[in-house]
Amino acid sequence: MTRLIRLDRIHEEPLNRSQGADDAHPMRKVTQQIVESETGWSPERAAKVKELFDGLASEWKTRATPERLVPLLDALDRGGLDGAEICCEVGCGSGVASPILADRFSQLICFDLSMNMLRFGPETLSRAVADASSLPLADSSVDVLVVVNMFLFPGEYARVLRRGGKLLWASSDGDRTPIYLPIEDVAASLGDGFECMGADAGPGCWLVGKKL
């Protein structure tokens, strides 16, 4: 049975939030299909997603606000990540979260499907194009894998994490963003091989799953 410990919310949700994406949003459907079945992701789908984010790259950073970083910061504070050194961020986009991770971990490598997105990222960081469904990383090589507003590929993430390594999954804006899953669904998708904790935080939520 999957274990998920829900921590108390300590960062309030901002007031007067607008409605966002719902389950009918095409990207929400893709997010759900990827965790439901291996056929949820394909070269054709990867090409479409890449094209979409290539087109959004130049304005992506304008979506960043301090409050949207609250879930990630809360996860880093309370997610039990002490002692981890090698961090890999997957689906880093234009690097909104990357400098925070670079401060926190001694080694960071960032991957994204979209070269355009990477072009807008911090030049001082290691960045490379890669598809999260097939990462250019050895088995059990990573201490922490970070995915923020990004699809969940449970099998691939489990492959590259070492035993005791942790997946940090964060959603900046919860169900108002298209690429979103409830943390109970994230924990269920990771399955018995992970022990999970998570919380609501600011406008979003996070989960840290420890590979057993």
- CB distance 126 to 86 below 8 Å: no
Q: Which of 4, 28, 53, 74 forms a contact with ligand SAM (CB under 6 A)?
A: 53
Give the three-class secondary structure for 149. Answer: coil
Task: Report which residue's Cβ sits closest to ligand SAM.
Answer: 93
Half-sphere exposure of 109 (CA within 13 A, CB side): 12
User: Smallest distance from the beta carbon of 212 to ligand SAM, in angstroms?
Assistant: 25
Part in contact with ligand SAM (CB under 6 A); list of ranges 3-11, 86-94, 184-192, 193-201: 86-94
User: Smallest distance from the beta carbon of 92 to ligand SAM, in angstroms?
Assistant: 5
Q: Which of 69, 96, 108, 207 forms a contact with ligand SAM (CB under 6 A)?
A: 96
Which residue's entry shows tokens 């999954």?
A: 169
Part in contact with ligand SAM (CB under 6 A); list of ranges 79-87, 126-134, 185-193, 199-207: 126-134
Q: Which of 28, 31, 49, 207 forms a contact with ligand SAM (CB under 6 A)?
A: 49
Does 113 engage in binding with ligand SAM (CB under 6 A)? yes
Q: What is the amino acid identity at position 79?
A: G
Does 149 engage in binding with ligand SAM (CB under 6 A)? yes
- CB distance 34 to 153 below 8 Å: yes
Does 131 engage in binding with ligand SAM (CB under 6 A)? yes
Integer Cα distance of 106 and 22 in angstroms: 38
Does 93 engage in binding with ligand SAM (CB under 6 A)? yes
DSSP states of 6-51 as a string? Answer: EPPP-SPPPSSPPP---TTSHHHHHHHHHHH-GGG--HHHHHHHHH
| Number of residues forming the site for ligand SAM (CB under 6 A) | 23
Question: Of 62 and 124, which CB lies nearer to ligand SAM in the complex structure?
Answer: 62
Integer Cα distance of 197 and 95 in angstroms: 25
The Cα-based distances of 114 to 57, 83, 179, 199 in angstroms read: 8, 31, 16, 29
Question: Of 5 and 161, which CB lies nearer to ligand SAM in the complex structure?
Answer: 161
Does 179 engage in binding with ligand SAM (CB under 6 A)? yes
Chain residues that interact with ligand SAM, rule: CB under 6 A = 46, 49, 53, 90-93, 96-97, 111-114, 117, 131-133, 148-151, 172, 179
